[in-house]
């Protein structure tokens, strides 16, 4: 394997995983002197659990930083001139890193924020459409997992339409399907609680 292959093909995927693994929910908690989000609620480090542990402002910061992980991971291959499939794999690696972080014993969040960040780079118009949908479901139901699962499913459909109707590179169909599948897999316990009518609701006031 030559140096160019490592830099253009392998490097972005490894970088995506390592960048995605940065547990910004935990970082924000430590910076403001708040409780470790892993000790509260779902025990996750994503935005919804940071909201429970630290309130809305901290959750917004953590969520934006988590989204940035996906965006940066998708941008690196673009800047290096890597093939689209490498961009897709790097963005997927960021979702994996976020949910199975090597820095905190392979715990983490559920992947929605870095997944959105990757989508914002790959198909920004679709990402802009998803934002208000997510917000409306979240505010209306106060169930973060419902907003995340619905938004990821709609993003998958929208990206598949962009590939098969509007001519985006076929590699992005992999991101559509695999990204949504990973997010749903990491929400498996939420799905069980949703079906049982026992899912946690979040409070926006603190």
In the chain (206 residues long), the average pLDDT of successive 10-residue segments reads: 78 97 96 93 90 92 97 97 97 98 96 97 97 95 95 98 97 98 96 94 70
Collect all residues with Cβ–Cβ distance below 8 Å to 179 and sequence separation of at least 6. 91, 92, 95, 111, 115, 118, 119, 152, 155, 156
Token pair recorded at residue 105: 């014993």
Q: What is the DSSP letter of 129?
A: H
Helix intervals (H) in the chain: 3-5, 11-20, 24-32, 47-54, 56-80, 84-99, 112-122, 124-141, 144-164, 171-186, 188-196
Euclidean distance between CA atoms 60 and 8, whole angstroms: 33
Give pLDDT tens digits for 77-90.
Answer: 999 999 999 999 99
Q: What is the DSSP letter of 100?
A: S
Give pLDDT tens digits for 80-127.
Answer: 999 999 999 999 999 999 999 999 999 999 999 999 999 999 999 999
Cα angle: 176, vertex 12, 77; to 5 degrees: 70
Q: What is the pTM of this model?
A: 0.94
- Beta carbons of 54 and 24 less than 8 angstroms apart: no
Q: Environment class of residue 79 by beta-carbon count within 10 Å: exposed (0-12), middle (13-18) or buried (19+)?
A: exposed
């Amino acid at each position: 394997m030559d140096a160019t292959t490592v830099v253009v093909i392998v490097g972005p995927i490894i970088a995506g995983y390592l960048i995605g693994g940065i547990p910004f929910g935990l970082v924000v908690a430590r910076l403001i002197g708040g409780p470790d989000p892993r000790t509260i609620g779902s025990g996750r480090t994503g935005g919804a659990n940071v909201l429970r542990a630290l309130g809305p402002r901290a959750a917004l910061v953590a969520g934006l930083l988590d989204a940035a992980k996906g965006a940066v991971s998708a941008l690196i291959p673009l800047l290096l001139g890597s093939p689209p499939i490498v961009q897709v794999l790097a963005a997927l690696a960021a979702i994996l890193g976020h949910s199975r972080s090597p820095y905190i014993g392979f715990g983490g969040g559920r992947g929605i924020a870095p997944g959105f960040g990757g989508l914002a780079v790959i198909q920004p118009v679709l990402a802009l459409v998803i934002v208000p949908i997510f917000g409306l479901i979240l505010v209306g139901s106060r169930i973060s997992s419902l907003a995340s699962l619905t938004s990821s499913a709609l993003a998958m459909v929208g990206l598949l339409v962009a590939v098969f109707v509007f001519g985006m590179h076929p590699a992005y169909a992999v991101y559509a399907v695999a990204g949504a599948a990973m997010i749903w897999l990491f929400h498996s316990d939420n799905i069980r609680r949703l079906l049982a009518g026992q899912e946690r609701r979040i409070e926006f006031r603190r």
